């Protein structure tokens, strides 16, 4: 499968074989502001180079992008991270460009499929995937079946953790998980508290050094993430929860206390869900896009 991962700042292309191995992997800036016509031409060109580099024929094209999108009709509706890209028939254009069948899926849903098939969820029956990145997204597999939405469902980042809480940049409501646990909001909360921190990684580093302001911001992040996860494991009772995205790279500093809180607060067996880091790392986008094609 030729897998294309269309992000707001970066686009990736890779060839992924039937065992989930990445045979080639190329990344370049999306330049979303240049609009869909030039943007897709560049994405498809990146795809052709990935196929050339892999030295392997491909049978289909899988495309992952941020929502809202319509996976059934293969249309980007109005992706939040691609301003001005409205009603773009990306699947039809990819089919025309490559002469192959193409499938479109929400990037976080695709990542869940990738982790389930080839990553941290391999051999399990059910999984919840959360990406903690610029925003927070996620996907769910129940009894081996990926939950696919018609465009706007499965928005795990917009689970409410405080209904009178912070305004969510993604959807405008109050108190979404994303308003606390995205990289953007972790850094934002730290700056509001007077900390000189540009990124969530800075906040984590200051907290590890014992800076009391950073520790307080980090504790709130842990509390919010655990609160959201308790709701999710209570609903889906997954075997495993996989955390991906930049914020998850803080590793045990985040996972350790979150695991403890979820285990104590979840209902009965739901608290037994293992909570682990993404196994696919930077490749999760392309492996996910490929997994969706292979599942289709």
- The contact set with Zn ion (CB under 5 A) reads 158, 168, 170-171, 176
Given the complex with Zn ion, which of 176 and 200 has the nearer CB atom? 176
Between helices 200-208 and 252-265, what is the axis angle to 10°? 90
The distance of closest approach from Cβ of residue 169 to Zn ion in the complex, given in angstroms and rounded to an integer, is 8
Q: How far is the CB of 50 from Zn ion (least distance, A)?
A: 33
Taking the complex as a whole, how short is the minimal distance between the CB of residue 158 and Zn ion, in angstroms? 4
Instruction: Name the residue nearer to Zn ion (CB basis): 140 or 176.
Output: 176
CB of 4 to Zn ion, least distance (A): 26
Q: Output 200 or 286, the one with its CB closest to Zn ion.
A: 200
Three-state DSSP class for residue 133: coil
Phi-psi sector, 188: left (phi>0), alpha (psi -120 to 50), beta: alpha
Rounded Cα distance, 183 and 198, in Å:
10
Selection from 50, 54, 57, 36 nearest residue 4 by Cα: 50
C-alpha to C-alpha distance for 88 and 32, rounded to whole angstroms: 13
SS3 label, residue 240? strand
Question: Is the Cβ of residue 109 or residue 126 nearer to Zn ion in the bound state?
Answer: 109
Complex with Zn ion: residue 142 or 174, whichever CB lies closer: 174
To Zn ion, the closest distance from the beta carbon of 135 in angstroms equals 9
* Cβ atoms within 10 Å of 215's Cβ, excluding its own: 15
Instruction: Please count the other Cβ atoms lying within 10 Å of the Cβ belonging to residue 39.
Output: 21
């Amino acid at each position: 499968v030729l897998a294309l991962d269309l992000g707001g700042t970066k686009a990736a292309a890779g060839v992924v074989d039937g065992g989930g191995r990445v045979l080639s992997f190329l990344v370049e800036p999306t330049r979303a502001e240049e609009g869909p016509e030039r943007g897709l031409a560049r994405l498809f060109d990146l795809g052709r180079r990935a196929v050339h580099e892999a030295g392997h024929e491909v049978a289909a094209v899988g495309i992952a992008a941020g929502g809202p999108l319509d996976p059934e009709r293969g249309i980007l509706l109005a992706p939040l991270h691609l301003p001005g890209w409205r009603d773009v028939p990306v699947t039809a254009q990819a089919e025309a460009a490559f002469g192959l069948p193409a499938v479109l899926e929400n990037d976080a849903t695709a990542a869940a499929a990738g982790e389930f098939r080839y990553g941290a969820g391999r051999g399990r029956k059910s999984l919840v995937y959360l990406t903690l990145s610029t925003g927070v997204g996620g996907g769910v597999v129940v009894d081996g079946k990926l939950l696919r939405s018609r465009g706007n469902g499965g928005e795990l980042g917009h689970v409410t953790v405080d209904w009178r809480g912070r305004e969510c940049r993604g959807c405008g409501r109050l108190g979404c998980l994303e308003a606390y646990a995205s990289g953007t909001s972790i850094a934002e909360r730290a700056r509001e508290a007077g900390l000189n921190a540009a990124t969530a990684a800075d906040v984590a580093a200051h907290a590890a050094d014992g800076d009391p302001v950073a520790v307080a911001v980090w504790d709130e992040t842990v509390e919010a993430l655990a609160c959201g996860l308790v709701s999710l494991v209570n609903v889906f009772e997954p075997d495993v929860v996989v955390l991906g995205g930049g914020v998850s790279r803080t590793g045990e500093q985040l996972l350790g206390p979150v695991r403890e809180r979820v285990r104590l607060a979840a209902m009965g067996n739901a608290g037994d869900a293992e909570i682990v880091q993404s196994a696919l790392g930077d490749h999760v986008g392309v492996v996910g896009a490929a997994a969706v094609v292979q599942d289709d």
